[in-house]
Chain A
Amino acid sequence: MLSLLSSLCRLLLAFSVLAFFQAAAHAQTPQNFTIGNWKKTSSNTSQFFIIQGNLNRQTPLQAPLEPAISQNSFFIRYTLKYPAEHIDQPPESSGEFFILWLDDTEGNETSGHSNQTPNIGVHVDKNLKNKYMIRFSSPRQAFASELRGDQSTQLVAHISKSKPGIENPYDKIALWINPKVVQRDRPDTQLQVSNARVSTIRWLGFSTGVKTETTDRITVGDIQIAHNWEELFGIRMQTKVTAPKPLTMPKPSISFAKDVVPILQQRCFQCHQGVNKTGFRLDVADEVLNQTTPFAAGTSELIHRINASDETKMPPEGERLSPDEIKTLSVWIDEGMRWDEVLFPTPKLTSEHWAFQPIQTPVIPAKPKHGRTAIDAFLAKQQKQLGVTPNEVAPIETLIRRLHLTVTGLPPSPEFLELVLKVEPANRQDWLDQQVKTLLATRAYGEHWGRYWLDIARWAESNGHQHNRFRPDAWRYRDYVISSFAQNKPFNLFLKEQIAGDEISTGDDHVIATGFLSAARYSGNNLDKQIQRNEILVDVTNTTASAFLGLTMECAQCHTHKFDPISIRDYYRFQAFFAEGQPGSVVLEEGREAAPQLIAEYWNLFDQTKGRVYQELKKKGSPEPIYVAPETVNRRIPNSDRAFYNQLKKQLDALPKAWGWYSTQSDYLSLPVAPHLMRWPLERERTALYQRPTYLLIRGDITNRGPEVEPGVPSVFAQIPVDDKPRLTLANWMTSPDNPLTARVWVNRIWQGHFGRGIVESSSDFGTQGTTPSNQDLLDYLASELLSHDWDTAHIHSLILNSHAYRQAATQQTTALERDPNNSSWWGWNPYHLHSEAVHDSILQVSGSLTSLLGGPSRQPDNVTKVRSIYLESRRNTPSYLNEVFDGPTTSHSCSRRSQSISPLQSLYLLNSKFTHQNADKIAEVIGAKTDKIEEQAATAVLSVLGRHIRADEQPTVVKFLQETSLKDLCLVLLNSNEFIHVN
């Protein structure tokens, strides 16, 4: 009912006849079982259906089924709670009796409903035990386990016909007591009879008998009928529901071709046909959509313009459109703006833009004298054209510090310097090649590059927005990213797991990887479920497109992209890949046996309480159950169930979970989703994920639906068939060797990660408005290397790190600076600011305080915790002070490149914070313990902090400072120095 109500709201919002028909059609497929209004013949029942006996046969509660059920099989479930103190134990007494019956007649208050019709309840067995029971009549009973007092017990029955057919009776019952979802084939008891009577069930009700005392207080609730087992558990139906076909629109009174086209041709096309200088085309359906609102001429820009009399009027000059013409166009829009694609086909979007062309493997130019890898050959060609020559190799201590910082985010140890200094100077560069391999296999590399990826994935550990709830399981994705890098996972696999992990398998890694999608912000304070979902889908669409494809699709959300060949239709087709999923707290393998039961019990109790609270509110005039917030429900759990509820919550908390993505495509049976409480969460029923057709939204407005669209890649690319694993299809397309973007975008990000700037500077925008590559051959060479090496990220790192371009000095050359002022040919190393994490981690590292960690839940940032920043809790809206002042990632949107701002607040932090002082103290302490000679102390301090030997031209000044101040002061100054804070 609720969904119908919201459909109606949508209708009002959209003024869209089409939307209404579609919503109505959706509500009908599949047909839901509905239990009618409960008829309470006794005042002894409440909303919770607390039933007491009267030492007589009675039916205090019954309800009609609308429509009646006659299909071959169905499931019914209810929850029963018997107070232990009231359970009478035979032979001392008569024992207990209680049933749910299903019948074709309504009967009266005292009818038995035990005349060859299904009964599910409690009765005494031969051994005089109170047991859960099924029966068709008194003699034909079957028993399950013993009745347990004080516990909410779920009874699930499968009622079926051994002979299919509408006229044949229901003659089989199977019963499960508190079943787990995996116990489908293992009922606790079953029963078949030959003389069954009822072939259509029209009524159901609860009866007590002579054994039921007036003091008994039996609670029943959560009564539900379902087509199949899975639906009963709120999980995916075995057969996928096929989306209903859009209904044909009402017969139009206006013909597009005969009535509309002549007006457009005579009055509009003079300026607005074909590619024209006004920027508006009225001969292409998707562009007309930018100017109109189908079914609502009144809010259509086009109609406003032809009606206007001010400077916005159309046509700008000459005769106004006649009232008849205006009316024709208005009716055309009100009838859904039919278009004739034959008459005016949507032009195939094409683009000459470099990034959309196939990746060609360029011929490697002649290797220059200084060259170490092919990279240098490509750059040498460009440098020659510009008339510049690259710098010499950087000093070895600078180089090893650079190498450690760009690969691991940490400075090298002084021991490493000693090691390299032992190598013959002529062999040092080759020796470093070996060290590159070693460094790329460290966890520290995974941590540093993992952080880079987390920026791009706009990952954080809270929902964002106003309530900003913590996501206690989000850390698993962080660990997944770190180990993916540390293990050098092929990038194509890394991509697939993140976009479509749950479609590949339900294995933990795959589920955790979908943390990329679920990292979207999630407003827990939105009552409008459509807006709430849409915000998440928009986030997922934009982030996926920019992170992997370097496409800024967000512009096309509201209108066909002004610059890039991406139409508004392309945007929603891309979004449709994600439409049947949502973020949630997905239980991992270890917890999947226990989870379904716990979750079902939890929601059962939750819903009962919610129902009760709602009834109370309703009496006071509060309009909708949606206003009953989960916090309220939590507070209002009845005292009798409180302990049980708390225990359930505890058990649920203890389950291993991931903040992941689940959808109609993921295997539901195996993927239980635990409650993630927030004030107004997304709809939790998985069935809500079905039937999510994606509509083109006019101007991005959720209330303003255009035509329905199917998943598909942007039309500028060759189209691909989309199967029942849409996201995997998308991921396969993104990682196919023909995709011109993915490999280019990734190698460029790798380049940026080392040099601080990409070959394409706008590293998340490879569109026409992005910057052009400073050296496209180089970019394409790296991209084709990635493809020919099975997406081996470490291979690209090595090519870069072993190149002369990477190893050259940061010296400024006057001539080169004149001829290539932006250093676009990479003739020298550009020093850049450490990222906030590297500032933090490097300080801890040089003071010897850094504690290594192998992942796990995030740590609180404080002065006692000395782990790498990536393991510190990262909540949206409340970044650490270091992230606040040192340009940390926004975490609300994908961050492709950190800002490099300079502010006195940074300096104040480094000069005065407890953190830097503690660490300066620590370094001083260690050095002081080693030597008390001032000169040695000065040299050791420089070595420890800057990773190099003290220089002759600075030694006297440093020593003098040390004589006048303290070792700690020296260390503090060194930690503040530009040399320490930059990648030199």
Chain B
Amino acid sequence: MSINPQRRAFLRQSAVSMTGLTSIALASSLQPTLLRGNERKIARSVIFLYMSGGPSQVDTFDPKPALATYSGQNVPESIARNVPPIKRSGLNNIMPSHWSFQPHGESGIPVSELLPHTAQHADDLCVIRSVKHLNPVHGPGECVCLTGVAGGDRPSIGAWTTYALGNINENLPTFMAMNIHSDGMQFPQRAGWSTGFLPAKHQGVVINPATGIKFTDLPEDTPQQRRIQQLQLLDFLNEKHRKDKLNADLLQARIKSYEMTAKMQVAAPELFDWETRESEATRILYGIGKENSHETGVACLMGRRMVERGVRFIQIRVGGWDAHGNIKSNHSRQAARTDKPIAGLLRDLKQRGLLTSTLVVWAGEFGRTPTMEGTANGRDHSPNGYSIWMAGGGVQGGQIIGQTDDLGYVATERPVSPFDYHATILAALGIDPAKLSYNHLGREETPLFNDGAVIEEVLA
């Protein structure tokens, strides 16, 4: 199957839709040279499931029987010597996982019994067990996860994506972010949907999946007919104002944005109206209506609805994974919040034929230590070697990439960085990240920063 004609059509469409806007339209990004592997299956949308707080790799996707063997003991020197001397990385009191692992699917990828629903999609998952970086703190870690750097001053991966590919449906924002369960101390980091040095228009729009995009409802005293009259007068005044003016493009673009407003006002309520438009079966599939999984369920369902409507990048941040104390109850709660909705999302995308064009990424800002933190039966932060997964468009599922040591502490094989998986996301979208650049302070900035590289094995 060749996707080229469709893709070319889309590029033309993007190019057309972008020329109307004055902000830098990145014409060059639409040149074929930017694309890589044209024959390859590629995704056109991304759903990034960001698990805030740091899920434990050894309790989810990286089984380590040795934890039980060495329970209560200190980390042996052979492993400890590779653990970077960062404050959080405790070396005493190894703690076994509370959950057992079973191989799943044809690929036999082991998934913890904590995530039974996700496990059913093992053959779709490409699990990367060897992500590592150096920042063991949530805020900077979140920035590393989503922008590559702790200061968060580079573009988020969502911003790079929309910068590269533009929008599919101009009636909706190109990049939307939902922050679910962001209670407690892990405040969402704005950098995660910001643009860094890229033009501001590429930033993500934060929306509450329950209420939708702000200000799309017509005020009570403004019937539709009245709005049409308002826009007509506005257009009349704006055209007069624009006549013979310098910077007419800018003024024209703003006039056009009012046309888009009207369309968005129709498109957004339709998008967010899942309650009357989705079946009971779908709700059950996503765990909607169930106490624990409702919120993530709605967000994931919105994710699918956005994909269907051509939203390019969807970020769903689910907070609460910070299991310093009692990891058993914490991760059980988090699994109850996320497992069914995420599995439901994968299933739903698949049954609608959307999984081949939608890349789904699941990642925390770091993993957790194989040791117990203090005495509270929890695990501390550990960015030394943790697991993420990718599934769907552009990705070869049913495989595991990278390894950690026997305790799951440090990545030992095929270590990769957040810049690497960002590059891989772009590659899965058909973009060559090395050629995607933006001139900032005289430097041709790319999503690779200094040494990021595509994890080629991930790609289909």
- Interface pair A523/B139, CB less than 8 Å apart: yes
A627 to B253, CA, bound (A): 54
A765 to B194, CA, bound (A): 22
B237, CB-defined interface residue at 8 Å: yes
Instruction: Tell me the minimal C-beta distance from B225 to chain A in angstroms.
Output: 10
Q: Which of A464, A811, A903 has the most CB of B within 10 A?
A: A903
- Interface pair B441/A892, CB less than 8 Å apart: no
- Interface pair A467/B185, CB less than 8 Å apart: yes
A812 to B216, CA, bound (A): 35
Instruction: Tell me the minimal C-beta distance from A893 to chain B in angstroms.
Output: 6
Residue of A nearest to B201 (CB): A901
Chain A residue numbers with a CB within 8 Å of B102 are: none
Choose among B21, B221, B230 the residue that contacts A902 (Cβ–Cβ < 8 A): B21
Instruction: Tell me the minimal C-beta distance from A467 to chain B in angstroms.
Output: 6
A526, CB-defined interface residue at 8 Å: yes
Chain A residue numbers with a CB within 8 Å of B230 are: 911, 965, 969, 972-973, 976
Stretch at the interface among B43-51, B80-88, B328-336: B80-88
B35, CB-defined interface residue at 8 Å: no
Task: Encode contact with B along A748-770: 1 for CB under 8 Å, 0 otherwise.
Answer: 00000000000000100101111
- Interface pair B23/A466, CB less than 8 Å apart: no
Chain B residue numbers with a CB within 8 Å of A762 are: 441
- Interface pair A831/B86, CB less than 8 Å apart: no
Residue of A nearest to B141 (CB): A466
B152, CB-defined interface residue at 8 Å: yes
- Interface pair B246/A831, CB less than 8 Å apart: yes
A622, CB-defined interface residue at 8 Å: yes
A908, CB-defined interface residue at 8 Å: yes
Choose among B88, B142, B190, B218 the residue that contacts A912 (Cβ–Cβ < 8 A): B218
Choose among B151, B216, B255, B260 the residue that contacts A978 (Cβ–Cβ < 8 A): B255
Instruction: Tell me the minimal C-beta distance from A812 to chain B in angstroms.
Output: 5
Chain B residue numbers with a CB within 8 Å of A972 are: 230
A909, CB-defined interface residue at 8 Å: yes
Chain A residue numbers with a CB within 8 Å of B85 are: 9, 12-13
Choose among A535, A617, A823, A901 the residue that contacts B199 (Cβ–Cβ < 8 A): A901
Stretch at the interface among A496-504, A576-584, A876-884: A876-884
Given contacts A525-B137, A831-B247, A899-B199, contact A623 B214 (CB under 8 A): no
Chain A residue numbers with a CB within 8 Å of B250 are: 831-833, 900, 902
- Interface pair A976/B245, CB less than 8 Å apart: no
A913, CB-defined interface residue at 8 Å: yes
Given contacts A810-B247, A969-B226, contact A957 B233 (CB under 8 A): yes
A948 to B278, CA, bound (A): 52
- Interface pair B374/A466, CB less than 8 Å apart: no
Residue of A nearest to B21 (CB): A902
- Interface pair B187/A877, CB less than 8 Å apart: yes
- Interface pair B246/A823, CB less than 8 Å apart: yes
Instruction: Tell me the minimal C-beta distance from A309 to chain B in angstroms.
Output: 20
- Interface pair B241/A977, CB less than 8 Å apart: yes
A887, CB-defined interface residue at 8 Å: yes
Instruction: Tell me the minimal C-beta distance from A908 to chain B in angstroms.
Output: 4
- Interface pair A976/B234, CB less than 8 Å apart: yes
Residue of A nearest to B253 (CB): A902
A798, CB-defined interface residue at 8 Å: no
A384, CB-defined interface residue at 8 Å: no
Choose among A9, A810, A904, A912 the residue that contacts B257 (Cβ–Cβ < 8 A): A904
A341, CB-defined interface residue at 8 Å: no
- Interface pair B88/A527, CB less than 8 Å apart: yes
Choose among A562, A627, A907, A984 the residue that contacts B261 (Cβ–Cβ < 8 A): A907
Given contacts A466-B138, A525-B138, A978-B254, contact A881 B233 (CB under 8 A): no
A965 to B230, CA, bound (A): 9
- Interface pair A627/B374, CB less than 8 Å apart: yes
A449, CB-defined interface residue at 8 Å: no
- Interface pair A905/B205, CB less than 8 Å apart: yes
Given contacts A768-B442, A828-B246, contact A468 B187 (CB under 8 A): yes
B71, CB-defined interface residue at 8 Å: no
Instruction: Tell me the minimal C-beta distance from A302 to chain B in angstroms.
Output: 17
- Interface pair A812/B229, CB less than 8 Å apart: no
- Interface pair B375/A621, CB less than 8 Å apart: yes
Residue of A nearest to B240 (CB): A954
- Interface pair B215/A911, CB less than 8 Å apart: yes
Residue of A nearest to B153 (CB): A893
- Interface pair B260/A812, CB less than 8 Å apart: no
Chain A residue numbers with a CB within 8 Å of B87 are: 527-528, 626
28 contacts between A and B (CB under 8 A): A13-B85, A466-B139, A466-B186, A523-B139, A563-B442, A617-B374, A621-B374, A621-B375, A812-B246, A832-B250, A879-B190, A881-B214, A893-B153, A899-B200, A901-B200, A903-B201, A905-B173, A912-B217, A913-B215, A957-B236, A961-B229, A965-B229, A973-B230, A977-B234, A978-B237, A978-B238, A978-B241, A979-B237
Task: Supply 11 further A-B pairs (C-beta < 8 A) apart from A535-B151, A620-B374, A899-B200.
Answer: A466-B187, A812-B244, A892-B190, A901-B23, A902-B201, A905-B213, A905-B214, A906-B257, A911-B230, A965-B230, A984-B241
Q: Which residues of A are interface residues toward B (Cβ below 8 A)?
A: 9, 12-13, 464-468, 523, 525-528, 535, 552, 555, 562-563, 617, 620-623, 626-627, 762, 765, 767-770, 810-812, 817, 823, 828-833, 876-879, 881, 884, 887, 890, 892-893, 899-909, 911-913, 917, 953-954, 957-958, 961, 964-965, 968-970, 972-974, 976-979, 981-982, 984
Q: Which 5 A-B pairs have the closest CB atoms?
A: A769-B442, A466-B139, A899-B200, A527-B87, A465-B139
